[in-house]
Amino acid sequence: MIEVTRLNDTKLTINADLIERVEELPDTVITMTTGYKVIVKESRQEVRDLVILYKREILNREL
């Protein structure tokens, strides 16, 4: 799970495994595999980095 910030400054935790795509249109839009979309303050690169950190954390737990 990763934590992102909506445009109204509320925090939202989303399942990184369900992210289908992240676009900057110019706001960052995260589209989930369910079709749910959320607009966040983080850049596309920041979301990418959060997902990578999350995946590393999960993999390190399994070792």
**Measured torsion, CA atoms of residues 36, 42, 46, 51, in degrees rounded to the nearest 10:** -30
pLDDT in tens, 44-60: 999 999 999 999 998 88
The pLDDT of residue 62 is 63
Which pLDDT belongs to residue 61?
Answer: 81
pLDDT at 38 exceeding the cut of 70: yes
> Per the structure, how many domains does the chain have?
1
Find the domain containing 36 and state its range.
Answer: 2-62
* pLDDT beyond 70 at 26: yes
CB of 39 closer than 8 Å to CB of 9:
no
Check: pTM over 0.75? Answer yes or no. Answer: yes
Q: What percent of the chain lies above the pLDDT cut of 70?
A: 97
